[in-house]
Amino acid sequence: MSESVIHPTAVVSPKAQVGLGVEIGAYSVIGDHVVLADGCKVMHHVMVDCNTTVGEETILFPFSSVGTAPQDTTFKGEETFVEIGCRNKIREFTTINRGTAKGGGMTRLGDDNYLMAYAHVAHDCQIGNHVYLINGATLAGHVEVEDYAVIGAFSSVHQFVRVGRNCYIGGYTIVLQDVLPFAKIAQNRGDYSLYGPNSIGMMRNGFERTYINNVKEIYDLLFHQDLNTSQSIEKISQMFPGLDEAQLITDFIAKTRRGILKNFHNC
C-alpha cells in the first residue's frame, strides 16, 4: 500500500497514528490519540477530535465531525472514546460524539455503515454493521442499532432505545420505544403505523422465503390477535419451537427496558 498523503494545510497531532495509504485533505484537523487505519480517506475540512479509532477504508466527507465531546451536561472531561469500524461512509456534516463515563465510555460503529448528511450519533451509541442513517437521522445517547437497520430521514430515536436488526423506520418518525427486528414502521401525524416485516429488505439481505413467512406469522401473533405480550410469546414458543427467527424476536422483547413499540394505527 502507498504512503499517506497529507495536505500541507491539514493539522495532524504528533500523538495521532496514521496508517498506510491514508489521505487527509485540506484544512482537516486530526487530534490527539486518533488512529486512522490503512486506506482511510479524510476529505477536506474534517474534524477528528481525539481518542478516536477509524477502521480501514472508511471515508470521512467534508465538514463531518467525529470524536468531539458528548453533548451531556454531566460530562466533566473524562477520557472517553469513539471506535469506528471498516469501510464506513460518513457524509457531510455528520456528527459522532465520544462516550460518557456513566454510559461505558465508548461510542461504537461497526463495519460497512452509511451515515448520510447531517446524521447525528450521540454519546455511548452502539451501532452494528450495514446500518443506514438517512439524511438528518438523529440518535440520542445510549441508543443501540442492530445490523442492517435503516433509519429514515429526519427520524429521531430516544435515549436507551434499541432498534432491531433489518428493520426499516420511515422518515420523520419519533421513536420512543424499542423497535422489533424486521419491523417496517412509520409515523404520520402522531400515529405509528406498522407495515409488517421489512420483507423486501430481508430478501435483499439473503433471507429465505420460509424465514420471512415465519416472521409474518410471528408478527400476526404479536399485533393482530387478541393476546397480550406474554400470551403472544407463549404462543410463538409453541408454534415455532427452536426456530432462530422466533428466538431472536422473543429474546429482543425479553431484554427491553423501555418497552416494545406496539401502539400502531391501522396495523
- pLDDT tens-place values along the chain, 267 residues long: 789 999 999 999 999 999 999 999 999 999 999 999 999 999 999 999 999 999 999 999 999 999 999 999 999 999 999 999 999 999 999 999 999 999 999 999 999 999 999 999 999 999 999 999 999 999 999 999 999 999 999 999 999 999 999 999 999 999 999 999 999 999 987 789 999 999 999 999 999 999 999 999 999 999 988 888 899 999 999 999 999 999 999 999 999 999 999 877 654
pLDDT at 189: 79
CB-based contacts of 8, cutoff 8 Å, min separation 6: none
pTM: 0.96
Respond yes or no: is residue 265 known to be catalytic. no
Q: Among this protein's residues, is 120 annotated catalytic?
A: no
Q: Exactly one of 141, 152, 164, 170 is catalytic; which is it? A: 141
For residue 201 the three cell numbers come to 429488505
Is 141 assigned a catalytic role?
yes
pLDDT at 24: 98
Q: Which helix (H) or strand (E) holds 235?
A: helix 229-239
Instruction: Give me the catalytic one of 123, 152, 170, 178.
Output: 123
- Given 49, 111, 112, 124, the catalytic residue: 124
| pLDDT at position 263 | 73
Q: In order of start, what are the domains of the chain with their CATH numbers?
A: 5-142 (2.160.10.10), 201-254 (1.20.1180.10)
| Rounded distance between C-alpha atoms, residue 175 and residue 158, angstroms | 6
Residue for grid cell 412509520: 186
pLDDT value of position 262: 83
Amino acid at the residue 113: N
C-alpha cell at 31: 487530534
**DSSP of 195-231:** EEE-HHHHHHTT--HHHHHHHHHHHHHHHTSS--HHH
